[in-house]
Structure 1
Amino acid sequence: MLSAALLTSAPTLGGATEPLPPDLGMAPISDLTVATTAAGQRQLRFSATIVNVGRGPFELSASRTSTGSAFTVSQAVAQTDGSRTVTDVPATLQFGGDGHGHWHVRDLESYELVRLDNGVKVGTSSKGGFCFFDTTAYRLSLPGAPQSPVHSASGCGVESSLTVSMGLSVGWGDRYPWTLPDQYIDITNLSNGQYRLIATADPRGTFVESDHGNNATWVDISLSNRKNGAAVKVLGYGPAA
């Protein structure tokens, strides 16, 4: 259901216009590996892809009055008549000074590791912010899916930007490969055993979507220590977007 705070709308000739909201989810988690840093930290690294399988694009814009002020973030939702409705959303931005060099939306995705036998959470991702755009074709057969990327990294801005814009087209995903900074969960103190890695899009329900109940995917894994280092084995996958 769309927020009552929507600011603009336009009627369609012959009837009321209808919203075309996005529907966020996660593609299957991939590239699971265990890496050990020079300091001895064990990291469960993996690639994760947030995707949009809705009727319309997922589009955010943000602005601020000066480089010392906070951004105000809004979401635009496409309508069947070609217009957009715009509403402020309680999202915050942070600058990714970890080699990304652009602005991130905080808590767009979450990663958690839980014990498979009792569901106790034993780890969360070090990564907390994401700039999203069309990097990976996911399901281009969806109605309204463009056959080539529409949104690019340029919308994520630079440190001095006063405005930024991000988008994820219908049928497209934004992939975060396992090699990126902070794309891991610290498993240094975990014992051998079986665990479930859960990736969730929009975990706080911050954004307008057609369905908040299908945002997560998971993979079950076995972690074990060996003479030549720790190892991870995939046991099974849960539903994906």
Structure 2
Amino acid sequence: MSQTLNYPRWLVAAFSVAFASVLILAYGIRGAVADPSSSLAVGPTDQVPDLVMLPLADFRLSTENGRKVLRFTVHTENKGGTLDLTGSRSNASTASLTVVQNMHQTGGGVRSIRTNAAMRFAVADGHDHWHVSNFAEYKLRPVGSSTWRGAHKEGFCARDTVHIEGNAPRSFPNNCEPGRSDALKVAEGISTGWADRYDWDLWGQFIELDRLALPGDFCVAATADPLHLFAEAPKDNNTTSSLVRITAQDVRVMRQGC
């Protein structure tokens, strides 16, 4: 047999007020979280680099090992946040340095990102310093052909060579640890508004022209980070190209873009 419990009216009223207060408090907290206008703390964000290949310059013909070659100057500018790379190895018996990208953030923080890039000590160019492999790519094809041929230069010492715009300081002025084949850690990069320049007369800064019909029209292209080794955006400004006419005696730029 069931029994009905009779509570005093004052106790029922007190319980009802307390329950209503809990509901109001819970709704208020939920509303504060859901309200996009509420002043919640925002965490640091990445200042992503933006590598831009500037128009090619200083085209000229030369001869290397008895073969005619095309030479030109390349500028890779960084229009975004600092490109900061650190190569390291545990001991000197390992030939390559593994590379992390140090992503600078708003508020002054830095977070490290693992990459598939490598640094190698280069001696063939006479610089005797550390290069970031596949940092850029140069190539040429005859107009009307889909077959490209590449340049000799594949590794690059990424550093602040030329100031292009803005007021960011020069953070990477060194020459990539010259003579330090025993180095265990190497810092390279390009600061905001600075460019890494490779002049036409440097070693490897050419594409061979043997077995190509001259005179002729050719597309010459240069791409920054062709293998997408680094976090940087956007990607649609990483390549520049020039349409050039090459004869046996000289080279002339017909237009930018091809």
Tell whether the structures are fold-level matches, with TM greater than 0.5. yes
Hey, what does 1:99 align to over in structure 2?
126
**TM-score where L is the length of structure 1:** 0.85
**TM-score where L is the length of structure 2:** 0.79
The number of residue pairs the alignment matches comes to 215
Residues 1:59 and 2:84 are matched in the alignment:
yes
* Deviation by residue 1:117-164 (Cα, 9 ceiling, x = unmatched): 23332x211001001111111222xxxx41x42211244452111110
* Deviation by residue 1:78-137 (Cα, 9 ceiling, x = unmatched): 11111011011001122110211100010000001012223332x211001001111111
Answer with 1 or 2: which has the greater Rg. Answer: 2
Equivalent of residue 165 in structure 2, options 119, 132, 139: 139
* Deviation by residue 1:16-54 (Cα, 9 ceiling, x = unmatched): 2111010111111111000023x4211101110111011
Residues 1:223 and 2:237 are matched in the alignment:
no
Measure, in 1, the Cα distance between the counterparts of 2:164 and 2:152.
Answer: 26
Residues 1:28 and 2:55 are matched in the alignment:
yes
In structure 1, the gaps of 5 or more residues are 1-12
Q: Structure 1 195/154 Cα, relative in aligned 2: closer, same or farther at 3 Å?
A: closer
Letter in 2 for 1:163: K
Letter in 2 for 1:83: G
What secondary structure is seen at the aligned counterpart in 1 of 2:230?
A: coil
Equivalent of residue 46 in structure 2, options 5, 14, 19: 19
Range with greater deviation from structure 2 (153-162 or 214-223): 153-162
- Given that 1:126 and 1:183 are in contact with CA atoms closer than 8 Å, whether structure 2 keeps it comes out as yes
Hey, what does 2:205 align to over in structure 1?
183
Hey, what does 1:118 align to over in structure 2?
145
Hey, what does 1:6 align to over in structure 2?
none
In structure 2, the gaps of 5 or more residues are 1-39
Measure, in 2, the Cα distance between the counterparts of 1:235 and 1:154.
Answer: 35
What secondary structure is seen at the aligned counterpart in 2 of 1:219?
A: strand
State the identity as a percent: 32
Higher strand fraction (1 or 2): 1
- Given that 1:131 and 1:156 are in contact with CA atoms closer than 8 Å, whether structure 2 keeps it comes out as no
Measure, in 2, the Cα distance between the counterparts of 1:205 and 1:21.
Answer: 14
Hey, what does 2:99 align to over in structure 1?
73
4+ residue segments displaced more than 4 Å: none
Q: Structure 1 218/156 Cα, relative in aligned 2: closer, same or farther at 3 Å?
A: farther
Higher relative contact order (CA 8 A, sep 6+): 1
Equivalent of residue 200 in structure 1, options 223, 233, 251: 223
What secondary structure is seen at the aligned counterpart in 2 of 1:203?
A: coil
Letter in 2 for 1:59: D
Tell me the C-alpha RMSD between the 2 structures: 1.6
Letter in 2 for 1:153: N
- Given that 1:58 and 1:169 are in contact with CA atoms closer than 8 Å, whether structure 2 keeps it comes out as yes
